[in-house]
Structure 1
Amino acid sequence: MQNIDFNQFADLSPFELKDKLIDLANTVPDRTLLDAGRGNPNFLATLPRKAFLRLGDFALEEAERNYSYLDGGFGGIPNGDDVVARFDTFAKQYGDKEGVQFLQKALSYAKDRLGIEQEAFLNELVLAFLGCNYPVPSRMLTHMETVVKQYIGEEMYGNVPMTQNFDVFATEGGTASMTYTFQTMFNNGLLKKGDKVALVTPIFTPYLEIPELSEYELEIVELRLDETTWQLPLSEIEKLADRDIKLLCVVNPANPASVKMSDETLSLLTDFVNENRKDDLFIVTDDVYGTFADDFVSLFATLPYNTLCVYSFSKYFGATGWRLGTIAIHENNVFDDAMRRLPEAHQLQLDDRYKTLTTTPRDIKFIDRIVADSRSVALNHTAGLALPQQVQMALFSLTCLMDSAGNYKAACKRIIRDRFKTLFSNMGIEMKQDKDRVDYYTLLELDDIGGQLYGAEFVRWFKENGKGKYFLFQLAQATGVILLPGKGFDTVNASVRVSLANLTHHEYELIGRETRKVLDQYYAEFQGQ
């Protein structure tokens, strides 16, 4: 494998590099390819999907009540009168189906726990499933936003007293949430070219790439996680004292390390921002993996004034293809206050930008500007996530809200943590317990593993000969195992990322054994020299 010029791939994202590794692995015919490179889970939530289908059956019956005299599968927009009574009749007819029972419980939960009248909620669900109207309000339908807010609150606040004093914008996945947020910060003068942005690294690759794009040209300041504990030292947090740093981007739990911020780290960062940067620091926290952690608390809960929360339903519910994400911002927030402090000349420019939306454009909140900017303002009337997608998002949320025993969450945690143990045991490596580790991904630190298996001299040889560069290619060609380079996520040491979400238990046994086999081959080469 020494004849591979690794440098030709230096500028590729990890996910583009993965395609090169797959091509290499496929040079050996009739061999199983084990792709643990991407984080698309191979498990999913079935109950809310059943409910979605049964809701569809009922919604179509409602539509067919109008214009029933016409042929050709013709229906009309339901008016919603007495819709609950008709649903009760429908439920008696199909009451043995899990999805129908789920919907009955959801209507009851919404009324008892969230104060949503059943007829209003059911009518909203029916019309949204049919997708026969534009999304109004554009950010998110009213009752569905209430449901999703409750879900986000329960998942993000942990032991912190929860509030619902925040707004939610339903988006086409977490990446859309990121893109929209950056765009609107620039459009409204909260960020400008040349500004400094702090990234807690290692970090998910788009956060490394977006600031460097020509339309942004932001200067990146890294707050480095300690790669032994994957926590943020106070010395790194203190870099935020530089007021030229306008924005802090965090993925928590971290990707690729898959470790959440410890209580101590969360407290250190929260206290520092409150004492030094509360008035002007913007924070974006991406908490997509928080639902896999134990006792998770988000910066959205501890620094509510400063923090915009990005959350995606993709991983936890096995719904990457649904493209379901959210942006959440508290009603009292630094983004809105910063816009109000802009110079009058800049305010006038923004008045002109948003003047078609209202006669008082300065009253438009930052999150509603994100909505407008997502459709270039002029097409704001067509903004908003597709309504059937909003229905599925609400049903996913209700799945967990009504699961008082936490059975779904326990199953999700168990499946990825069992795979973690299997992977490392088959490499012959014993891992220490860490209550903050999430295990959706894991980093194989080649230096550390080599030291445990073969000693310090081997590690020195491994580093001096740049073997870490070729490990992924050697592994792909020799075994058909596809992993991602830690360097693509800006790790310092030679490491590779393994997704523990997308293969079978047996296949992680094979990955562990094949990884050990390649490392043993390197050790044999070391001994031969």
Structure 2
Amino acid sequence: MGIVVCDRRDKTMTADMNIFEQVDDSKVSSLDQLSNFEVAAIFNKYAQHNLRGNEVVNGGRGNPNWIATTARLAYSRLLEFGVTEAERTYFDPRGMAGDVQKAGIYQRLMIALKESRRDIFLRTAIDAAVSQLAIKDKDAFVYELVDGALSDHYPYPPRCLTYTEQVLQQYLQKVCFKDVQLAADVDVFPTEGGTAAMVYIFQELHYAHILYPGDTVVVNSSIFTPYLQIPELSEYNLRIKTVTTKREDNWQMTDEQFEELKDPRVKAFFAVNPTNPTARAFTPERLAKFKEVVKANPDLVIITDDVYGTFSPSYQSIFAVAPHNTILVYSFSKLYGATGQRLGVVCMHHQNVCDRIIQENLQNRRLKELDERRYSIVVPNPHKMKFIDRMVADSRAIGLYHTAGLSSAQQVMMDMFALSNLKDAGLSPYVKLSREVVADRYHEFWHGLGILPDETPENTRYYTLVDIFDLMRQRHGKEFCQYFKDNYNYLDFTYRLATEFGAVVMDATAFGAEKGNVRVSLANLKKADYRKLAQAILDLVDEYYQVFKKKSKK
């Protein structure tokens, strides 16, 4: 787990056995079947009434406790300007205005913008977009932003607003692809967060006859729990095979595990990069292995969720090395403190394995008839419809395709977040700040445990995995650790941590981690709270040790 830098086994312990004995953990095993997210929610309720009367420190969920301010203020400025523009065409004091006119809107906005922080940002962001995207019609661009912020029209095109797609292409280029130039070769589909993106992808792989029930899919474990649960649903009934990474390998896949992906019987590979809960990006050396994989298994579909990418200095997407085989999912939620906004995006290369397999499937008469029957009501040539466009149609059950697409307001919010990054050459100051925030908390937590933190560049520090069994061994020896394993349910520790100390962490077993591991989020507490959380963990370990010593004397 790490190098112990302070050994407190011989120091005075804060174990309060009177409180420890008040906790009834006899029914904890009944929670085994619940999702770890549901268990953490239950434990958080217990923590509110903890026996020590402590202030609750909930390090279980990954929702950040910060927000990006400037982009939000800029959005509000667009909205304010949009209302003024609408009142130019029609105004009624009872609260109604007309619609926005495109002609001259760029110049009117520039005149309206003053020298406030939000106005300066909005002016700079728009000018940066015009320059970087080589936008010729400034009125059309600003009209899309203003009209989109007002949201008085259905999103059109349904998959993505015209200029938003260009902004997102450039954002993904900077953040995910890095030095591999792909922006001009990709399509994007904004979705209701990364969660909706994953739902749509699984659905479409099924509808497009790319994945069949019984097919083998490999999951890079430990991983976000739903990616282990969704493939097992009855409508998909996929055979899941996990490749589990280990701490001693810095949570990187081994050569042998990459070899498993070369087996043509493996139809898909799911990864979170950087990982959740182990918080590691693929190293450049490991990333390069995917080129070998898709060369050996050209029909492999890779789905990668890269929401934590900006938190690792060395991160690059799998998409950058295997673009024709990879479906990239990105979300603005964690970096910009926007989980409630639901801002995700699917990205696919123009020449991708899914489109190729669809065309191969159309050689089958039955599949061709099914395809035509399904999509002929929305496009004149359904057989030419791309996978990503089918995803848009199927996201609205085909019949509602004409009203498909993420709300234009959400897409414009994406524009503002993306442009807050693109306006700066090199590393965005905001991204740098976000890394510093989680790094400070990460160090506070691990130093609180008395263990040197991991400083590898692949480490996002957004989450961290704590091996409680290893901590027990380091602190009080192997016999004590074995005693705990033999006598307690694996959820007992997190249950007692909540009910006695008011401290909440998430059991990592459901992520695919070994029993005894818990996930701590470094995103949702104040820095000082992580020292409290670490101390609560140590105190509880010491209390269990007191029980062990007492029973050992009998």
**Structure 1 position 519 matched with structure 2 position 545:** no
CA–CA separation in structure 1 for the residues paired with 2:183 and 2:123? 27
Write the deviation string for residues 64-114 of structure 1: whole angstroms up to 9, x where unpaired: 01123x4422211122111122112212xxx12211111211221112111
Equivalent in the alignment of 1:67: 90
Deviation at 1:292, TM superposition (A): 0.8
280, 283, 292: which one aligns with 2:311 = 292
CA–CA separation in structure 1 for the residues paired with 2:127 and 2:25? 65
Equivalent in the alignment of 2:124: 105
Equivalent in the alignment of 1:5: 27
Which amino acid in 1 is paired with 2:391? I
Write the deviation string for residues 189-229 of structure 1: whole angstroms up to 9, x where unpaired: 11121211111111101101101112111110111112332
Deviates more, 1:450-459 or 1:110-119: 450-459
Equivalent in the alignment of 1:138: 158
- Assess, with a 3 A threshold, how the Cα gap between structure 1 residues 257 and 65 changes in structure 2: closer, same or farther: same
Deviation at 1:238, TM superposition (A): 1.6
Deviation at 1:270, TM superposition (A): 2.9
Equivalent in the alignment of 2:524: 502
Deviates more, 1:442-451 or 1:497-506: 442-451
CA–CA separation in structure 1 for the residues paired with 2:105 and 2:436? 40
3-state DSSP of counterpart to 1:164:
helix
**Structure 1 position 119 matched with structure 2 position 142:** no
CA–CA separation in structure 2 for the residues paired with 1:435 and 1:79? 49
186, 199, 218: which one aligns with 1:198 = 218
CA–CA separation in structure 2 for the residues paired with 1:442 and 1:40? 14
Which amino acid in 2 is paired with 1:398? L
254, 267, 278: which one aligns with 1:257 = 278
CA–CA separation in structure 2 for the residues paired with 1:445 and 1:486? 10
316, 331, 350: which one aligns with 2:350 = 331
Equivalent in the alignment of 1:427: 449
Equivalent in the alignment of 1:55: 78
396, 408, 421: which one aligns with 1:400 = 421
Equivalent in the alignment of 1:171: 191
Maintained 8 Å contact 1:426/1:512 = yes
Deviation at 1:168, TM superposition (A): 0.4
Structural mapping, 1:201-280, within 5 Å: 201-228=221-248, 229-274=250-295, 276-278=296-298, 280=299
Write the deviation string for residues 240-296 of structure 1: whole angstroms up to 9, x where unpaired: 23322211110111101111111222122332222x112x00110000000111131
Equivalent in the alignment of 1:479: 501
CA–CA separation in structure 2 for the residues paired with 1:317 and 1:356? 39
CA–CA separation in structure 2 for the residues paired with 1:269 and 1:363? 29
3-state DSSP of counterpart to 2:357:
helix
- Assess, with a 3 A threshold, how the Cα gap between structure 1 residues 432 and 37 changes in structure 2: closer, same or farther: closer
**Structure 1 position 451 matched with structure 2 position 451:** no
Equivalent in the alignment of 1:79: 101
Equivalent in the alignment of 1:315: 334
3-state DSSP of counterpart to 1:200:
strand
What is the number of equivalent residue pairs in this alignment?
Answer: 523
Write the deviation string for residues 368-419 of structure 1: whole angstroms up to 9, x where unpaired: 0000000001110000011111110010000011133521111100010110
Equivalent in the alignment of 1:39: 62
CA–CA separation in structure 2 for the residues paired with 1:421 and 1:17? 27
Which amino acid in 2 is paired with 1:366? F
CA–CA separation in structure 2 for the residues paired with 1:149 and 1:368? 17
- Assess, with a 3 A threshold, how the Cα gap between structure 1 residues 369 and 162 changes in structure 2: closer, same or farther: closer
176, 184, 206: which one aligns with 1:156 = 176
- Assess, with a 3 A threshold, how the Cα gap between structure 1 residues 493 and 3 changes in structure 2: closer, same or farther: closer
Deviation at 1:459, TM superposition (A): 2.9
CA–CA separation in structure 2 for the residues paired with 1:19 and 1:299? 33
Equivalent in the alignment of 1:371: 392
Which amino acid in 2 is paired with 1:292? F
Equivalent in the alignment of 1:305: 324
CA–CA separation in structure 1 for the residues paired with 2:293 and 2:155? 40
CA–CA separation in structure 2 for the residues paired with 1:299 and 1:3? 44
TM-score (norm 1): 0.96
Maintained 8 Å contact 2:271/2:304 = yes
- Assess, with a 3 A threshold, how the Cα gap between structure 1 residues 456 and 270 changes in structure 2: closer, same or farther: farther
- Assess, with a 3 A threshold, how the Cα gap between structure 1 residues 160 and 462 changes in structure 2: closer, same or farther: farther
Which amino acid in 1 is paired with 2:68? A
CA–CA separation in structure 1 for the residues paired with 2:519 and 2:286? 23
3-state DSSP of counterpart to 1:320:
coil
Maintained 8 Å contact 1:304/1:333 = yes
CA–CA separation in structure 1 for the residues paired with 2:515 and 2:395? 38
3-state DSSP of counterpart to 1:443:
strand
3-state DSSP of counterpart to 2:340:
helix
| Cα RMSD, aligned residues only | 1.5
CA–CA separation in structure 1 for the residues paired with 2:275 and 2:346? 19
Identity %: 37
TM-score (norm 2): 0.92
Maintained 8 Å contact 2:74/2:118 = yes
Deviates more, 1:293-302 or 1:364-373: 293-302
Maintained 8 Å contact 1:281/1:306 = yes
Maintained 8 Å contact 1:159/1:297 = no
Deviation at 1:347, TM superposition (A): 1.6
